[in-house]
A and B are shown apart, each in its own frame.
Chain A
Amino acid sequence: MVGYTEALTDPSYRGQILSFTYPLIGNYGVPTVQLDQYGLPRAFESDAIQVNATVVHELCDTPSHWESSKTVNQWFFSQGIPGIDGIDVRNLTKRLRDRGVMMAALAVSSEVVDQEPLFKSLQSSALYAETELVSKVSVKQPRRWKTGSDTVVLIDCGVKYSIIRELLHSGFSVVQVPYNTTIEDVMKYQPAGVVLSNGPGDPKTCTDTLPLVSELLDREIPTLGICLGAQLLALAAGGNTYKLPYGHRGQNKPCTDKESGRGYITSQNHGYAIDSNSLDGTGFKVWFVNSDDTSIEGIRHDRKPFLAVQFHPEGAPGPHDTAFVFERFRAITRTTIDKR
């Protein structure tokens, strides 16, 4: 119901068709790009619509909001991204729930669409699960965002602007670097810590980033992994990840902190998860679990300055209940600096 501009511009959705379970999309339109105090656009998580297409029940063509400048339809049209409305999204959700996420094709035409060639092209197209997508959504050149004295290097696998915003808000300066940056280049920035961002696809396809993560672990650089970043951290530490039959996507996903027993509402968007059995001997232990299916939603190293969450502590779309994760990371970088 809220957060469609944020979700549709989230680079983690690259390569996917996004269907909304809430039936009315576009009620408050799409705002013009306005930059906040850090120079980051509000209400958008990247500079373009990232999904390949979207599926909704009803698209609002008469939005109402003081910030609205166009309809969702106009926005999609201007970026050349297709979508479909009038779909029984509940029915679609049930099918996805039962059979898992699946490949799909959408044809846009003013004529009646011939389905046969569409099915054929679907069969011959590359599977989402095997496609490396991170390189398509990562920055090409480092970008700097300055506020604080301590610098974090953000490994951009398709980062959401709100993660940068939260890091800046915690008092860091941020250097956003490409997914395939080398450890040497990272170290040049004398980072207080490194953040592994969210991003699309199977973490195991991120062969250009995993070596860097291993280096970070070896050097015990304070590292925070978010979403895909969490999976990369687990893989680099010797753990394993697997594809969820039906991923966690939404802004009301309940998580439990294994240590305190506290429950939090989190924003999630992941189709892969860390295998809890694979963590033995890695030094990592389970921090958060999904309260519904008990899959891993966060891990922490028991001695070293590594932590990772599978959910999105920055919300956007979604709640800010777990914004303390950034504070925790900030505190870890400070202790590490003090130790040095």
Chain B
Amino acid sequence: MKALREEGIKTTLVNPNIATIQTDSRMADRVHLLPVRPEYISKILEAERPEGIMLGFGGQTALNCGVQLAKDRTLDKLGVKILGTPIKSVELTEDRDLFKRKMSEIGIPVPLSQAAYSIEEARAAAKSIGYPVMIRVAYTLGGKGGGVAHNEYELDEIAKRGLALSLTRQVLVEDYLGGMKQIEYEVMRDSNDNCITVCNMENMFGMRIHTGDNLVIAPSQTLNNSEYHMLRSASLKAARAIGIIGECNIQFALDTKSDKYYAIEVNARLSRSSALASKATGYPLAYVAAKLGLGYTLTELRNSVTGVTTSCFEPSLDYVVMKFPRWDLQRFGRVNRKIGTSMKSVGEVMGIGSCFEEAIQKAIRMLEIDEIGLSGNGAEANAIVDPEIIEHHLTQPTDDALAWIVTAIRSPMSIERISELSEVDPWFLYKIQNIIRIEKELKVYHSKRDLGAIEPLIREAKRMGFSDRQLAFSLGISENETRKLRSSFKLFPSIKQIDTLAAEWPAKTNYLYTSYGGDQDDVDFPPSKKLIVLGAGSYRIGSSVEFDWCTMNMIWSLKERGIENAIIINCNPETVSTDYDMSDRLYFEELTLERVLDIYEKERPEGIITCVGGQTSNNLTPKLAEYGVKILGTEPVNIDRAEDRSKFSALLEKLEIPQPEWSAFDSLKDAYSFAERVGYPLVVRPSYVLSGAAMSIAWTPAQLERYLVNATRVNPEHPVVLTKFIRSALEIEVDAVSDGESTFIGAIVEHVEKAGVHSGDAIMSIPPKSLNSQATARLVDYTNRLAKALVIKGPFNVQYMVKDEDIFVIECNLRASRSMPFVSKTVGVNLMNLAARALLGEKIPSFDGPKVSKVSVKVPQFSFMQLDGADTLLGVEMQSTGEVACSGENFHDALIRAMTAAGYRLPRKGGNILVTVGGSELKEQLFPLVEKLRLLDLHIHATEHTADFLNQRGVGKVTVLYKIGEPDRTPNIAEYLANQQLDLVINIPSTLTLEKYADTLEDEYMIRRKAVELGVPVLTNVETAEAYVDGLLWLRKHSPEVALDPS
């Protein structure tokens, strides 16, 4: 969009993701928060009549949508030109057969594959291809049912299973490439046939693991000159043959024992890999691709890093980049933690260093999974592990694969053997071994206390990316002592530039990283009005694009308020805040105490802002304050009053604001007696909580015991907090900004789901749909009083529960919240702008209450389909991985739009709905909803008990479907799902959704799981289902043409 705006081109952006900066009015001339689906896009095109459309920047969703619009000739009819790679070329990359044929035509090898419809055919195919073979099951998602067969016996087993699972009774037998290297190239090509590769990347776990879940290194490390250029030439050849205009990503499998290779696939669009390549090299891929789409050539464009050199060049890297995925699989009940050919990660970080060891250790810390590096985590203490177990884990990688490699090296297993089992090239393993060697050498000094003699070793350790905490652990001293020791050696990191040309030309760039592999800083640190803003780190469940929005809007607001140098520290390659031209300086760095202090000491800014990067940067606040770092915003003592349960509770009492009963414990006995007194259910959590991690609801003493053991294990230093859980309460959030005296309330936000569903997983509405004016006034009053009492300076968020007439405060977070972009965009007041004023000590201007004529609804986006085995039930732990929001003339309208945008397929007229509800109480509760379904002319199907109930209540024509666990009885749910005969599944488990952690019924789990895998929408929450069905009814009456699925 930057590239287009420079050309004076007016742009319209369609994207329902409310939390991203892209949907800020700052970026595009017009923004439609609408589903990226052909029916919506064609309406927008008709209304706006643009000259052209760009499809390559919105991932697969946008590309697919564009292909559909081209195929049904909508684009032709409206005279809209496709800018960038033409549709015919896109089809060449998307259709397996066309792709293979094209590649063969130009002499680029592709892997062998044959379809088989029986065991005999599979055997024949495997024989002609040669073992080992990969068996893929057609039309199941996530690689389910497939596997690697090394011989006919294994083939029979897998093929039998696969044929049974496949919708079309078809399996694909392919050459197994798991042992090959996975190499990617990012290619740019213009309309004048200039073609370059911006970067190549190597996947540490080779072909065995999807690149999204792989550890990716740029540039490739184990290729020699002829291999590098053989694949580079093939990339250019393929891009030319396909007819790419703009950018594409090409994936190759390369043999480890010869120069045999295969082209695997081409992505004719900007991808996750291209975003990474862009950050890894400093080459602005998206920007240049947009210009090429407009018809510019690479030779005409300048390299914006130097301002003088051309864009038709290939960047030189003088550092190593390591991308590490973040999975968060442990959050999901029943999920399979194996990683393989389908992607499961939710975010990523990128470590930059002068050597591999430095880059990988930085990346591990950036993940914020409580690891301080590859060693020094105490793992070596219980290092003796059965070699068989190690071997198993090396061959069956999970999200813990790297840790098992470390364990194997320690055990010690030979590098050759580890490589053989894990398919990781020995080069990487030797490097990891280096880290473990240094750790062992450090250990020698543990008892010696002769720290003066250790300088050379510390220098070497720092060069290899050891953190102070890691050194402290090995040496048996504190982090602070290590820092002092390091100071006494004058051992500091140097600040290096990423300039695309390895220093060969002077660069203007302010894209920086730190490294111990250098002896000079590339930049100066002149004093100025200067502030550092900490970003949010990796995307993960509970912290995603919304905090990037907060970070960027804070930066822009600071610039508007006269800050000369607004500096960002962040480490997530997927964000806008890590675009090098978005701030005055970007440190692509760890958000750890050590590194932030390092940069603070170099830069000497007037202060640091830690309240816009979510929990990550917020958690650093007290530690930085201890080192005397100036933190802008609320006084640390008041932050502590809000975060410390007891102090906060005392404050609420003083302010006469009600709170649910709670108490903190460090003994189990006291916890049980409290539980007996206030009664179950109870919320159990460690005193410091991040996005519901380790938080649970206990319904029985037995559950309480189980959770207490788990929670205390998670966080031994902090006591456990028990809170009375108020059933069927409404959950409300207030997002606000205060300058210490006056407070601006952005919005009161109501959750559609009752309390118990994590706020990040709840559907939210602005304005609240069921609060009366009295309740609203009290919420405003409580919020104001809290802000005054805590002298809040900056953004904050208060969570409330409303039950009948009672309002309780659950918590108050003195930082930007997840919903702030949603609130800001809905009410039209940028909360970060106000927050910037408050943080700088200015007064926030007074406003009339924001006027909102429309209703906006935010809907979470889940990724259950990709998470093999994960249950879709919601609970107190957040599980969604994204969100969308749409506005409408009323709640129903907005909700239907938002749910469509989140991928819920609307039921066809006369379509089929499966209702399965547990327990008589819930059945009663759902009865009105079933009535409404009838009004929608939907055919109701139900499981036996639910159907009996409905029949008794006089609902006629309920078709009974039998459970998946009873495959012999028909009609069966499995069969209906498989044949895509169901439009919607409403599955509310036995008592309440809240009982996720009670034992869920196997049958119901199977229904939900199967439905998710086959792409049938599933609703598991009563309130969600009610709201959705009401929305459908409204839609039927009012605006059938807008949001109905044309199919």
Given A97-B505, A261-B192 in contact, is the A252-B315 Cβ separation under 8 Å?
Answer: yes
Q: Could you show 22 A-B contacts with beta carbons less than 8 Å apart?
A: A1-B220, A1-B228, A2-B223, A2-B225, A23-B318, A24-B355, A31-B224, A43-B226, A57-B354, A58-B355, A65-B224, A66-B256, A90-B503, A91-B518, A246-B504, A250-B504, A256-B312, A262-B192, A263-B196, A318-B225, A319-B229, A319-B232
Whole-angstrom distance between the Cβ of B969 and the nearest chain A Cβ: 57
Interface-centre pick from B220, B496, B520 (highest chain A CB count, 10 A): B520
Cβ contacts B509-532/A at 8 Å (1 or 0 each): 000000001111010000000000
Interface set, chain A 51-91, CB cutoff 8 A to B: 57-58, 60, 62-67, 88-91
A86-119 contacts to B, CB under 8 A, are 88-91, 93-94, 97
Residues of chain A within 8 A (CB-CB) of B194 are 262-263
A67 near B313: Cβ-Cβ < 8 Å: no
- Please name the residue on chain A nearest to B434 by beta carbon: A62
> Apart from A1-B317, A88-B517, A262-B193, what are 19 other A-B pairs with CB-CB below 8 Å?
A57-B355, A57-B517, A62-B433, A64-B426, A66-B257, A88-B519, A89-B318, A91-B518, A94-B503, A97-B505, A97-B506, A252-B314, A253-B313, A261-B192, A261-B299, A291-B309, A291-B310, A292-B309, A319-B232
B312 touches A252 (CB 8 A): no
Is B612's beta carbon under 8 Å from chain A? no
CB-nearest residue of chain B to A323: B233
Taking the complex as formed, is B902 at the interface, i.e. its CB lies under 8 A from any CB of chain A?
no
Chain B proximity of A154: nearest CB distance (Å): 23
Q: Which of B193, B313, B318, B506 is in CB contact (< 8 Å) with A254?
A: B313
User: Is A250 a contact of B224 with CB atoms below 8 Å?
Assistant: no
Shortest Cβ distance from residue B467 to the other chain A in the assembled complex, whole angstroms: 20
A317: interface (CB < 8 Å): yes
Known: A22-B502, A62-B430. A318 touches B229 (CB 8 A): yes
Point out which of A2, A256, A319 has the most chain B C-beta atoms below 10 A from its C-beta. Answer: A2
Q: Is the pair A6, B427 in contact by a Cβ cutoff of 8 Å?
A: no
Residues in chain B near residue A228, CB distance under 8 A: none
Q: Are A321 and B192 in touch, CB under 8 angstroms?
A: no
**Cβ of A316 under 8 Å from chain B:** yes
**Does A265 belong to the interface (CB within 8 Å)?**
yes
A24 B221 Cβ-Cβ under 8 A: yes
Q: Are A320's CB and B224's CB within 8 A?
A: no
Q: Are B313 and A265 in contact (CB under 8 A)?
A: yes
Q: Is A180 interfacial (CB 8 A cutoff)?
A: no
Q: Which of B187-234 contact A (CB under 8 A)?
A: 192-194, 196, 219-229, 232-233
Residue B835 at the chain A interface, CB threshold 8 Å: no
- A21 lies within 8 A of chain B by Cβ: yes
Interface residue B103 (Cβ < 8 Å from any Cβ of A)? no
Choice from A58, A91, A292 contacting B308 with Cβ under 8 Å: A292
A6 and chain B: residue at smallest CB distance:
B225
**Lowest 8 CB-CB distances: which A-B pairs, in order?**
A263-B312, A62-B430, A21-B502, A64-B427, A252-B314, A3-B225, A291-B310, A254-B313
Cβ contact of B317, chosen from A6, A22, A253, A292, cutoff 8 A = A22
Whole-angstrom CA separation of A265 from B316 in the bound complex: 12
Residues of chain A contacted by B504 (CB below 8 angstroms) = 21, 93, 97, 246, 250
Within 8 A of B (CB), among A240-276: 246, 250, 252-254, 256, 261-263, 265
- Considering only residues 451-483 of chain B, those with a C-beta below 8 Å from chain A are none
- Indicate if B683 sits at the interface (CB-CB under 8 A): no
Q: How far is the CA of A315 from the CA of B228 in the complex (A)?
A: 12
The distance from the CB of A79 to the nearest CB of chain B, in whole angstroms, is: 20
A12-39 interface code vs B (CB 8 A; 1 in, 0 out): 0000000001111001100100000000
Does A5 belong to the interface (CB within 8 Å)?
yes
B319 at interface, CB cutoff 8 A: yes
Contacts of A64 in B (CB 8 A): 222, 425-427, 430
The verdict on B817 contacting chain A, using a C-beta distance below 8 Å, is no
Interface residues of B in 254-307 (CB under 8 A from A): 256-258, 297-299
Q: Does A42 contact B (CB under 8 A)?
A: yes
B residues within 8 A CB of A253? 313
With A1-B219, A97-B504: A21-B316 Cβ-Cβ less than 8 Å: yes
Question: Shortest beta-carbon distance, B16 to chain A, in Å?
Answer: 39
Complex Cα–Cα for A250 and B315 (A): 11
Is A23 a contact of B427 with CB atoms below 8 Å? no
In the bound complex, CA of A263 to CA of B236 (Å): 13
B427, A262: Cβ atoms closer than 8 Å:
no
A-B contact count (CB 8 A): 156
Q: Does B332 have its Cβ within 8 Å of any Cβ on chain A?
A: no
> Chain B contact residues (Cβ within 8 angstroms of A): what range?
35 or more
CB-based contact A62/B427 at 8 Å: yes
Partner of A2, one of B224, B258, B505: B224
- Chain B nearest CB from A307 CB (Å) reads 21
Q: Determine whether the beta carbon of B299 is less than 8 Å from that of A263.
A: yes
Contacts of A57 in B (CB 8 A): 354-355, 517
Q: Which of A64, A65, A253, A315 has the most CB of B within 10 A?
A: A64
In the complex, whether B158 has a CB less than 8 A from a CB of chain A is no
Bound form: Cα–Cα A262–B193 in Å: 8
The residue among B228, B233, B258, B356 with the most chain A CB atoms within 10 A of its own CB is B228
Distance in angstroms between the alpha carbons of A291 and B300 in the assembled complex:
10
In the bound complex, do residue A23 and residue B315 qualify as a contact, i.e. CB atoms below 8 Å apart? no
* Residue B536 at the chain A interface, CB threshold 8 Å: no
Contact of A22 among B229, B256, B318, B426 (CB under 8 A): B318
B33 on the A face (CB < 8 A): no
- A246: chain B residues at CB < 8 Å are 504
Q: How distant is the Cα of A318 from the Cα of B224 in the complex, in angstroms?
A: 11
A27-B427, A90-B503 given; A66·B522 CB < 8 A: no
A23: chain B residues at CB < 8 Å are 318-320, 354-355, 517
Q: Bound state CA distance, A169 and B520, in angstroms?
A: 47
The residue of chain B having its C-beta at the shortest distance from the C-beta of A23 within the complex is B354
Which chain B positions have C-beta within 8 A of A256?
299, 310, 312
**B-chain residues with CB within 8 Å of residue A94 when the two chains form the complex:** 503, 520, 522
Q: Interface code B671-689, partner A: CB below 8 Å = 1, 0 otherwise?
A: 0000000000000000000
Q: Chain B residues near A6 (CB, 8 Å)?
A: 225
Q: A residues 314-340 with Cβ under 8 Å of B? A: 315-321
- 1/0 contact trace for B310-339 toward A, CB 8 Å? 101111111110000000000000000000
Asked if B312 and A21 make an inter-chain contact with CB atoms under 8 angstroms apart, the answer reads no
Given contacts A22-B318, A262-B192, A319-B229, contact A90 B223 (CB under 8 A): no
Q: A252–B316 contact, CB under 8 A?
A: yes
CB nearest to A62 among chain B residues:
B430
The minimal Cβ–Cβ distance linking A263 to chain B, given in whole angstroms, is: 4
A-contacting residues, B330-369, CB 8 Å: 354-356
How far is B428's CA from A60's CA once the two chains are assembled, in angstroms?
11
Q: Chain B residues near A21 (CB, 8 Å)?
A: 316, 318, 502-504
- Let me know if A263 and B354 touch, CB within 8 A: no
**Distance between A301 CB and nearest chain B CB, rounded to angstroms:** 25
A27: contacting residue among B196, B221, B226, B520, CB under 8 A? B221
Q: Which residues of B contact A66 (CB under 8 A)?
A: 256-258
A292 to B505 alpha-carbon distance, docked (Å)? 10
Task: Take A58-B354, A265-B196, A292-B309 as given contacts and tell me if A24 and B225 are in contact as well, using a CB distance cutoff of 8 Å.
Answer: no
Of all chain A residues, the one with the shortest Cβ separation from B502 is: A21
Q: How far apart are the CA atoms of A89 and B515 in the complex, in Å? A: 13
A140 to chain B, nearest CB (A): 29
Residues of A close to B317: CB separation below 8 A: 1, 22
Q: Residues of A contacting B494 with CB < 8 Å?
A: 88
- Nearest-neighbour CB distance to chain A for B835, whole angstroms, equals 38
Max chain A C-beta neighbours (<10 A), residue from B223, B236, B356, B427: B427
Instruction: Report the bound CA distance from A246 to B505 in whole Å.
Output: 10
Chain B: minimal CB distance from A69 (Å)? 13
Counting chain A CB atoms within 10 Å of each CB, which of B232, B317, B426 scores highest? B232
Given A21-B503, A93-B502, A319-B229, the answer on whether A252 and B313 have CB atoms closer than 8 Å is: yes
Determine if B310 and A2 form an interchain contact, defined as CB atoms under 8 angstroms apart. no
A91 touches B256 (CB 8 A): no
B313 touches A27 (CB 8 A): no
CB pair A291–B312 under 8 Å, yes or no, is yes
